Every structure is written in C-alpha cells, then in structure tokens.
Amino acid sequence: MSSTNQPLLHTPHKTTTNCKILFITISISTLLISAVLLLPNLTNKSSHNYLSNPSSLCLRASNPQACQDFVSEVVSDEEIPLETTTLFRKILIKQAHHMNRAILQTRKLKSQINAHNEEGALADCLELIDLSIDLVFDSIKALGKNQTSKSNANAQAWLSGVLTNHVSCLDGLNSVARKSLGAVLEELISRAKASLGILAAISEQDVEMTQPLRGKLPSWITAFDRKLMQSRADAIKADIVVAKDGSGNYKTVAEAIAAAPNKSKTRFVIHVKKGTYKENVEVGKSKRNVMIIGDGMDATILTGDLNVVDGSTTFRSATLAAVGEGVILQDIWIQNTAGPEKHQAVALRVGADKSVINRCRIDAYQDTLYAHSLRQFYRDCYITGTVDFIFGNAAVVFQKCNLVPRKPMQSQKNMVTAQGRTDPNQSTGTSIQDCEIKASSDLEAVKSSFPTYLGRPWKEYSRTVVMQSYIGDVIEPAGWSEWSGDFALKTLYYGEYMNRGPGAGTSKRVKWPGYHIITSAAEAMKFTVRELIQGGEWLGSTGVAYTEGL
C-alpha cells in the first residue's frame, strides 16, 4: 500500500533490475532462435504461407507506412519469400527489444527526477511496460505452433493490451517526463499498432477474433470456478481467511494476497470476513487464479481514498488493483471515499485477463471503475459514480448489473462510460447487456440540473454498446455526449439494441456517423460474451451465471 507522501512504486534493487534485464535479453534471444527454426503457419488454410511482398502485411494497419518500415527492419531481399509466422514473430521480438530499452531509459529518468507526481507516473510506466513484455512473449508463444481461432483471439487480446499499456503510460506523463520519453513511447505505440495490423492481415477472419463481444458466461470460466461463483463464502473451503478480529490467518487483505502462491495453476481462495478494511491492495501479475470472496457486498468493505488532487496518479489511486490473470472478486464492496472534489479517484482497477467480478459493489465518484485492459466479465454488480465512472480499454461485458449515476459537483455532467479504444484492430470495447441504468436517490430529486449520458469517446475508436437493458429517464434524450467538438464522432462505434425504459427511446439520439441503432440480431451478437470476450472458453469454470448470446 502506497501513501501519497511516498514513491508510488518502490525502486527495485539495482542487482535485481540488472538480473531481470539480463533474463529478458536471454529470453528474447531464445525466442529469436526458435522463430528461425520453427516455421509454423499462422492460419489453418495451408501448411505453409510465404510472402513475395512483405508490405502486403501492412494493408490493415492504421499507419501502413510505419508498419512497412518496421517490417523492413527484420527482413532483407535475400530472405524473400519469407514464411509469415516467422516474420511476425521476428517483428514481435524486435518490439520486445525496444520495450526493454524503454525500461532502461525510464529507470534512468526516474532516478534523476525528484518531483513526486513525475516519479509516480514513471513508476506506472515501469509496471505497464513490464506487463507489456510479458504479453508480447505470450503472443509469440501462442503463434508458434498449431494456431487456432482461440490462439489467434488470445494474441489479439494480449497485443491489444500492449497498446493500451503504452497509451496509458504516455497519458500519465507530465511535461518534464514527456519531453524526455515522449518520442520513445510514441514509437512503442506505433510498433504495437503495426503488430495488431499485421495480425489482422495474416489471421483467419473468423467471428471470434474480429468481433470479440456475446451473452452467456465466457467459456474460460471452468466448471470448478462456476461452482464457486454460485456459492456463498460459508459454503467454500478457503485457503486463507482474513478477519479484523484475529480469528483468521491474517488481519489485512494485502497480507493474504502476499501469502498466496505465485503463478498458481489452480484456484486459490481468500475469504475476507465481514468488516471494513482500510487499505490499498494490489493483486500483482504473479498472483494468478486468486479468488477474493467476502461475506456480501454490504458486509465486507475494502476502502481507500487515494486521488489525483492529493498527489496520486489515476492509475495508482485504485483501492483495489488486479492484474493477476484469472482473478475473481465476489461479494465485496470496493470504495474510494475521496469524494467528488478530489476528481479522479478509482475504486477498482482491473488489468487482469480472464477476470470475473461477481456480486460486488463498486463505489466512488469520478473514474470509479477502471476497466483498464484485457478480457473482463461483471455480473450482478452495483456500480455508481459521476464523471466517466466506467472507463478504460478492456474487452468487457457487464450483465445484470445496476449502473447508477449519482449527484456530481455543480456544473458537472455524468457519463456512465468513457471507452478508450485507440486502434481499429484492437479487440476491445464495452458491452452493457441486460443491466439497469437508473439515478441514485440523491440524483433523482435534482436530475434535471445534472445532464447524464450513456457515454462519451475518450479515444478515437471508442466502442460501447448498450443492449437489452433498462434505461431510466435520467439519461438525456441525445443519449451520448461529445468529448471535445467533433473528435472521434466518425470513428467511434456506439450502438443500442432492444433496450427498454423511459430513457431508451432513440428518436432524439445523436446523429453521429459512428452511432448505430442496431436492428439486426446478428450485429448485436458481436457484442455478447461469446464474441467480445470469448466467454465460452473460460467463464464456464468460474461458476458465475452468465448469458452467452442474446
């Protein structure tokens, strides 16, 4: 847990840093050798797929010329024709090399800067780039042998996360750090976009990869996890119990997470007994398959108050932050009590792939829920806030949740969502299905004084769909709001399908090129659990109830 008077991330010991950099370099070299020796085909259509014109790989990239420049770095005329998988893996390895150098530059700059806010932003960047290296390695492995639509979808999800991480890092930098690292990060962003464009060009264009949103539980939830998610804490045998009164193994949630095994392949259950726990908690990348279950969303309360005004970064302000793959949060109330005058103050940040948040209350004001990246599923949750209170760039589905705008500060407008997709090849977006959007009790009496909208475009390719949901009269007839002028109005994708309630009428909705009144069930299916987050492959194991389709 970090205080606002201390660095937001401890600087690792120099020896540890050098060892990790050496390990990364050796790992990259090993992958480069394997990329040359192994010539698997990325598609399922033929055993070998050679290119006589490598520039054709960049036809779907958002910046074809930059993409071609990166391709030319790893291929010479003597190597043409070149097998597509080998070429793409070499491009990804080159990308990892550049991220490794960016870490070194960021650490050097961090050691030279004394400003607290700059130091915190650089600490965020170090974590984000480190996570991105792992995601690139995972993608290289996934594309190394016997590719399927599943492995392709995984690689697209992970490479989408890499781009999101780089953008988050750059967005968080202030003037001094941006001047020193801006060009480095812009290049990382450009390389990440190129890799997504190449993957789109050489992969089979099946529905699961290109339209990743559908309605039951994601398939990556196992039968065992499904059973857990249908149970209460007293019916589950926990591995660790947290209790403030000393009746458990630990008195704090942070201690319990620290005690969880690293890189566990099986579910590790932490039961947090009834009570209020004031602490900031992180489920780090090594803490995989952790389940934190409380005694109910009104009984087990995790609370904090970090915020931007008092010196935290938005990224680090979360009361609970989770990046460990496969995390499940259940029956907990997560809150940030900083208040509206403190502006950005996150209650929950999730950047964990295949994560599930079930029967939780998530409570703050501005930026309540940071659905940062990768694949996420929320079921039967209560989420409340004011400005952009669900934001980020995950591939995320909300089902049967209560999304509750509350009374903001004077002259503010409420935005339920602010989705941050930055490239058309990212498999990210926000899908709200079978939910209820209603005003809180404090907003209800004064809702005419505080306009409330379904969302606004945080980034250029923002993508959000609301379907089969109840929309209360708190939502303005226009439905959606601009971010700034005509920014993203042609490139965003906002859609509504078969909604109900007094705020669901579409006759007075915005007339933007990117807004869609969805009338086709086939189009709506693109934004369900099965399609957006490949839910059929992982949600079945968690035990949480879900709808796979419409």
Give me the CATH number covering residue 269: 2.160.20.10
* Residues above pLDDT 70, as percent of the chain: 81
User: Cα angle at 295 between 293 and 301, to 5 degrees?
Assistant: 85
For residues 142-153, average pLDDT: 79
Whether 422 and 295 share a structural domain: no
What CATH number corresponds to the domain at position 125? 1.20.140.40
Q: Which pLDDT band, with edges at 50, 70 and 90, does 61 fall under?
A: very high
Give pLDDT, residue 455: 97
Cβ(414)–Cβ(257) under 8 Å?
A: no
In angstroms and rounded to an integer, the radius of gyration of the C-alpha atoms of the chain is: 23
* Residue 402 host element (H or E): strand 402-405
- How do residues 283-310 score in pLDDT, each as one tens digit? 999 999 999 999 999 999 999 999 999 9
Whether 193 and 251 share a structural domain: no
* 506: in domain: yes
- How do residues 240-288 score in pLDDT, each as one tens digit? 999 999 999 999 999 999 999 999 999 999 999 999 999 999 999 999 9
- Give the whole-angstrom CA distance, residue 122 versus residue 128: 10
- Reply yes or no on whether the pLDDT at 524 is more than 70: no
* 527: in domain: yes
* 239: in domain: yes
Pairing mode, strands 355-358 and 328-330: parallel
Computed over every residue of the chain, the mean pLDDT equals 86
Give pLDDT, residue 53: 73
Give pLDDT, residue 437: 98
**How many structural domains comprise the chain?**
3
Whether 70 and 188 share a structural domain: yes
DSSP secondary structure, 208-249, as one string = HHHS-EEEE--BBS-HHHHHHHTS-GGGS--SEEE-TTS-SS
- How do residues 357-410 score in pLDDT, each as one tens digit? 999 999 999 999 999 999 999 999 999 999 999 999 999 999 999 999 999 999
Whether 431 and 371 share a structural domain: no
Closest CA to 431 of 213, 157, 219: 213
Whether 406 and 286 share a structural domain: no
Whether 96 and 176 share a structural domain: yes
- Give the whole-angstrom CA distance, residue 429 versus residue 291: 25
* 34: in domain: no
Tokens found for residue 137: 């390695």
* 38: in domain: no
* 20: in domain: no
* 42: in domain: no
Tokens found for residue 453: 């909208």
Whether 299 and 393 share a structural domain: no
For residues 318-324, average pLDDT: 98
Q: Which residues contact 546 (CB under 8 A, 6 or more apart)?
A: 215, 216, 217, 218, 221, 377, 379, 399, 529, 535, 539
Whether 76 and 154 share a structural domain: yes
pLDDT higher at 126 or 45: 126
- Which one is catalytic: 69, 388, 434, 442? 388
- How do residues 505-523 score in pLDDT, each as one tens digit? 999 999 999 999 988 666 6
Whether 150 and 200 share a structural domain: yes
Q: Which residues contact 93 (CB under 8 A, 6 or more apart)?
A: 28, 31, 32, 35, 140
* 213: in domain: no
Whether 405 and 352 share a structural domain: no
Q: Which pLDDT band, with edges at 50, 70 and 90, does 47 fall under?
A: very low
Domain boundary residue among 375, 410, 442?
375
Q: Establish whether 388 is a catalytic residue.
A: yes
For residue 140, the enclosing domain spans: 54-204
Whether 404 and 536 share a structural domain: yes
